[in-house]
Amino acid sequence: MRAVALGIALTLIIAPGTASAAQAPAAQKKPPTTFSGVKLVDLHARKPEQNVTVRLNDDGLKIVDPASKADVATMPYTGIAASHRLSSAPPAIAGDPSAAATQPMASPMYMGKTPHNWLTLKSGTDTIVLRVSERVYAQLKDALASHGVQVQEEK
């Protein structure tokens, strides 16, 4: 009986350490590879902002329309120049905000708005401007860095 009680006590003492050791590799989270809640900004288009999902694959970045599941854009990681800025209006490369379609008698689209995180991705002649939340930007920046893409901060 004492041997059984001693065995149970040893199991209770050893088991918690064993369980945490087994969970240690799982605790090291990899950055996510899919990001939703991202806006693709093209002020020259009929709809200036479009909801998209950004996917980071092994060979490149893919932007997908979540409604139709169609690819909007793809970029290989090699040659991507990424930049970030925090401002109320998008970067000039996205187009002129005053040219974007708004309702009659409405104020310009970004006038008086709180600053947003704007991520600009350039590869060759292709340019993509994304509006992301602060949390998504931090995760996306880390995920891009794991693929060798460094994000430059703009003033």
Whose tokens are 């689209």? That residue is: 109
Parallel, antiparallel, or unpaired: how do β-strands 151-153 and 81-87 relate? Answer: parallel
Alpha helices (runs of H) in the chain, residue ranges in sequence order? 2-27, 134-146
* Average of per-residue pLDDT across 61-90: 91
What pLDDT, on the 0 to 100 scale, is given for residue 148? 92
Q: Under 8 Å CB-to-CB from 24, ≥6 apart: which residues?
A: none
Higher pLDDT, 20 or 49: 49
Q: Is the pLDDT of residue 13 over 80?
A: no
Domains and CATH numbers, the chain: 34-153 (2.30.29.30)
Q: Is the pTM of this model over 0.85?
A: no
What strands, in cross-sheet order, belong to the sheet with 116-123? 71-76, 60-64, 49-56, 34-41, 126-132, 116-123, 81-87, 151-153
What pLDDT, on the 0 to 100 scale, is given for residue 21? 47
d(CA 127, CA 144): 16
In terms of average pLDDT, the best of 22-31, 40-49, 72-81, 83-92 is 72-81
CA distances in angstroms from 137 to 1, 101, 114, 118, listed in the order given: 60, 27, 16, 9
Of 70-84, 108-122, 137-151, where does mean pLDDT reach its minimum?
Answer: 108-122
